[in-house]
Chain A
Amino acid sequence: MKKWLMMLVTVMIGFIVLAGCSNDDAASGDGKVEITYGFWDKKQVPAIDEIIKSFNEKYPDIKVKTEITPYGQYFQKLETAATGSALPDVMWMNGAHVNQYADGKVILPLTDLAKKDNYSLDNYPESLIELYTVNEDIYGIPKDLDTTGLWYNKKIFDEAGVPYPDDTWDWDKLKEVAKKLTNKEKGIWGYAALMGNQGGYYDFIWQNGGYIISEDGKSVGFDQPEAIEALKYNVSFIEEGLSPTQAQMTETAASELFSSGKIAMMFDGPWMVPEYKKNPDVDVAVVPKGKQRAVAIHGLANVIAANTKHKDAAWKFVQFLGSKEAAEIFAATGTVIPAYNGTQDAWKQAVPTINLQAFIDGIEYSVPLPSVKSTGEIWQYEIDVLKKAWSEEVSVEDAVKELTKKANESLSNE
């Protein structure tokens, strides 16, 4: 009998423990609701905490729980969570994934909610609203934006007696200066020809008059002459020894080489400001022009899960995240350029030692990152195929042939 009692008790305890795991439901009494906010950037935690605090002054009954997942796993986790209906109520979204999520009916269209509350979308740059509009519906409220600038190391320029980059620069000038600044003995490269699409070959392709995805969304433009020329221009820096090789840049990140003064110039985004401002020799200018001026623009948005249990609370929070007040908090911390029109100046003043105006100037002639349902797949093919051109294994012409074939296949499967 005693044994049976013991057994029973053990089993009971087991059940209680198991039940305890699944019993943290959101309804925590007193009419309070709890919503979760999923995002990936640890650097923005202080700003987000502050925003939640002022949100709670207005809505004390909505508790916001944050959930950080590193970028590397963020979308894998969302995908699994979406399959199991366990998405955070409110979460960050980027342009590469919004089509896929909107199409899969995983995130909530906000058009009707915005209309009902008279929420104006005119407060954000048009290119970003365009980015988050899928089939005439808006799915995300823009949170921040980023363009690309030409970062440079003033010390290397001074030592070589070369004037700093400005808005008159074009492709030829960039190459010419890269040649002057490359110093094999000191281990200094003039330019880092990164293999990245945003702030890399996409920008060059647009500057040269090319396109990434055709208007009808059925084919990619990598094999067009303008694109080939732009990609070749990129690779030529490596061929001529003005840039670290692809192998060197995968072993040691170019941003690290730049921070430690081994690279004179490179393209990078405003998200690197907190890192690069540690080096007093570093400044930034607008990217050089090709046949025309162009720079990629991208921005994150806050979206709501389609199956959220607290739709109203989530929408209130998203509205607040998109408000001028929240934008000003982001601006003051200097981490990202807030998307709310007119708050960008405050961001610029957060780090007065660097010419952050260069990023804001770019907005004017910016091109939104192309976004289709299979963007993720195409990006993977770009990495797989273009790296062979970057490491000079195959010619640019052969690489774009393979890439175009694979990418067009994904587009036709959509």
Chain B
Amino acid sequence: MKGIPQQAEVKANTKVKVSNLANTRKRSDYFWAYLMIAPTMLGLMIFYLWPILQTFYYSFTEWGAFGQYEWTGLDNYKRMFEDSNLIKSFKNTGIYIIFTVPIGIFLSILVAVLLNQKIKGKSVYRTLYFLPVITMPAAIAMVWKWLYNSDYGLLNYLLSLIGIKGPQWVSDPKIALYSLIAVAIWSGIGYNMVIFLSGLQGIPRTYYEAAEMDGAGPIRVFFKITLPLLSPVIFFVSIMSLIGAFQVFDLIFMMIGKSSTALENTQSIVYLFYQHAFVLNDKGYAAAIAVLLLIVILIITAIQFVLQKKWVHYD
């Protein structure tokens, strides 16, 4: 009677050993995995998470010269409701987003689909569309500033040839924001195009072949096959462009002069943040603006994630 339990014991023992071995194995795997991601995690904590927490804290303070600050509670947030500049900058950023994001996505899908065809010199075109992405934003802004110059710019010169007196593209308060939007769309197409291209190439050819056999025309194929299968990529791009558009700064900083008459009608939320943080040395209020911007972006991104269930296809 002793033999059987012994056997069972042995079996159990080996089982324990095996699972122990698996556990240590697993643990050491975890250890290595954590070690490998540690540098990035540390970087994120030190350079992103910590500043975010600090910004949040500073948004309740008022700053004097040279790093002295005092706790003022909700004062900065109360001040926001009376700040007509802040409301205006939200409006400007809103207009900027409404134009750059949808038009930008539409045009980049268009370009991506066209450059996904078998056409001659395809890679040359792809390079050309991508060039603005690898160019420094400051350089782009400088060149466009020259093109837009109302007296000596190329754009108004060309218009004058056909007898039209061109407007003051970056100085007229009514037009300046739209001039910026045009540059933003132009310089953003290339980057989104590359993402859409890779999305397009991930669509299996068999769907197209089946559609062709069923006699579907190219437009129908585009709307019934390409667009639904591209929708996860469109979702990704729209989230990224929206966040990017919320943070627009460099174009405005470079193209609209500090004493320009169009500044009020073009300054974005981040520009106002910069103005308060670094020009007026009002860092507490600037931090509050940054926190507000963070909350707005979070809410809008969350809304997008809820809405995506209705139009994004994941198969």
A-side residues, CB < 8 A to B, are 7, 76, 79, 82-83, 100-101, 103-104, 106, 195, 246-248, 250-252, 373, 376-377, 380, 383, 387-388, 391, 393
Instruction: Kindly identify which residue among A101, A103, A251, A376 contacts B150, using a CB–CB cutoff of 8 Å.
Output: A251
B252 at the interface (CB under 8 A from A): no
In the assembled complex, the Cα of A391 lies from the Cα of B257 at a distance in Å of 14
B20 within 8 A of A: no
Secondary structure type dominating chain A contacts: helix
Tell me, rounded to whole Å, the shortest Cβ–Cβ distance linking B252 to chain A.
Answer: 14
Contact A103 B260, beta carbon cutoff 8 Å: no
Closest beta carbon of chain A to B227's beta carbon, Å: 42
Which of B149, B150, B168, B171 has the largest number of chain A CB atoms within 10 A?
A: B171
B67 within 8 A of A: yes
Could you jot down 30 A-B contacts, CB within 8 Å? A7-B35, A79-B66, A79-B281, A82-B67, A83-B66, A83-B67, A103-B65, A104-B64, A104-B68, A106-B66, A246-B259, A246-B261, A247-B168, A247-B261, A247-B262, A250-B261, A251-B145, A251-B148, A251-B151, A251-B171, A251-B257, A252-B149, A252-B152, A373-B65, A377-B280, A383-B259, A387-B259, A387-B260, A388-B261, A393-B261
B279 touches A380 (CB 8 A): yes
Complex: A83 Cα to B67 Cα, angstroms? 5
The 0/1 profile, CB within 8 Å of A marked 1, for residues 51-83 of chain B is 000000000000011111000000000000000
Complex contacts, B262 vs chain A, CB 8 Å: 247
- Residues of B223-263 at the interface with A, using a CB-CB cut-off of 8 Å, are 257-262
- Verify if B50 is at the interface (C-beta below 8 Å from A): no
Question: Out of A106, A248, A376, A393, which one reaches B281, CB within 8 Å?
Answer: A376
Residue of B nearest to A73 (CB): B278
Instruction: Assess whether B170 is interfacial by the CB under 8 Å rule.
Output: yes
- Hey, which chain A residues are within 8 Å of B67, CB to CB? 82-83
Which residues from B are CB-within-8-Å of A380?
Answer: 279-280
In the assembled complex, the Cα of A251 lies from the Cα of B155 at a distance in Å of: 14
Residue numbers in A under 8 Å from B279 (CB-CB): 376, 380
The answer on a CB contact under 8 Å between A252 and B151 is yes
Q: Are B280 and A387 in contact (CB under 8 A)?
A: no
Q: Among the listed B66, B168, B259, B278, which residue makes an inter-chain contact with A104, where contact means beta carbons less than 8 Å apart?
A: B66
Which residues of B approach A to under 8 Å, CB–CB?
35, 64-68, 145, 148-152, 168, 170-172, 257-262, 278-281
Find out whether the CB atom of B171 lies under 8 angstroms from the CB atom of A247.
Answer: yes
With most chain B CB atoms within 10 A of its CB, the pick from A246, A247, A380 is A247
Nearest-Cβ distance from residue B50 to partner chain A, whole angstroms: 16
Q: Which residue of A lies closest to B277 (CB)?
A: A76
Q: Across the A-B interface, how many residue pairs have beta carbons closer than 8 Å?
A: 64
- B145 — which chain A residues lie within 8 A by C-beta? 251
Give the complex CA separation of A279 and B148 in angstroms. Answer: 27
Cα-based distance from A103 to B171 in the complex (angstroms): 39
Whether A250 and B152, one on each chain, are in contact in the complex, defined by CB atoms closer than 8 angstroms, is no
A248 engages B151 (CB within 8 Å): yes
* Docked-complex contact B259 and A195, CB < 8 angstroms: yes
Q: How far is the CB of A8 from chain B (nearest CB, A)?
A: 12
Question: Closest chain A residue to B32 by CB distance?
Answer: A3
Instruction: Note all chain A residues with C-beta closer than 8 A to B149.
Output: 251-252
User: B65's contact among A7, A100, A195, A247, by CB below 8 Å, is which?
Assistant: A100
Residue contact A247 to B172, C-beta cutoff 8 Å: yes
Task: Report how far A44 CA is from B172 CA in the complex, Å.
Answer: 37
Q: Is the CB of A383 within 8 A of B150?
A: no
In the complex, which residues of chain B have a beta carbon less than 8 angstroms from the beta carbon of A7? 35
CA distance A142 to B171 in the complex (A): 39
Residues of B within 8 A of A376 (CB): 279-281
A250 to B261 Cα, complex, angstroms: 9
Minimum CB–CB distance from A68 to chain B (whole Å) comes to 19
A83 cross-chain contacts in B, Cβ below 8 A: 66-67
Q: Which of B35, B170, B258 contacts A383 (CB 8 A)?
A: B258
From B64, B151, B261, contact of A387 by CB (8 A)? B261
Q: Contact at A251–B280, with CB atoms within 8 Å?
A: no
A103 nearest CB neighbor, chain B only: B65
Q: Which listed residue, A76, A250, A377, touches B171 by the CB 8 Å rule?
A: A250
CB distance from A308 to the nearest CB of B (A): 16
- Identify the closest chain B residue to A105 (Cβ): B66
- In the assembled complex, the CB of B32 is this many whole angstroms from the nearest CB of chain A, namely 9
In the assembled complex, the CB of B175 is this many whole angstroms from the nearest CB of chain A, namely 11
Would you give the shortest CB distance from B63 to chain A, in whole angstroms?
10
Task: Determine how close the nearest CB of chain B comes to the CB of A265; give it in whole angstroms.
Answer: 19
- Nearest CB in chain A: distance from B66 CB, A: 4
* Cα distance, A393 to B261, chains bound together (Å): 9
Assembly CA distance A376 to B171 (angstroms): 25
Q: Return chain B residues, CB-CB under 8 Å to A104.
A: 64-66, 68
> Cβ of B281 and Cβ of A251 under 8 Å apart?
no
Residue of A nearest to B170 (CB): A251
Give bound CA distance, A106 to B66, whole Å.
8
> Inside 8 A of A247's CB, which chain B residues have their CB?
150, 168, 171-172, 260-262
Shortest Cβ distance from residue A106 to the other chain B in the assembled complex, whole angstroms: 6
Closest to A247 in B: B171
Question: In angstroms, how far is the closest chain A Cβ from the Cβ of B75?
Answer: 14
Nearest CB in chain B to that of A379: its residue: B279
B148 CB contacts on chain A under 8 angstroms:
251
- Counting chain B CB atoms within 10 Å of each CB, which of A100, A376, A387 scores highest? A387
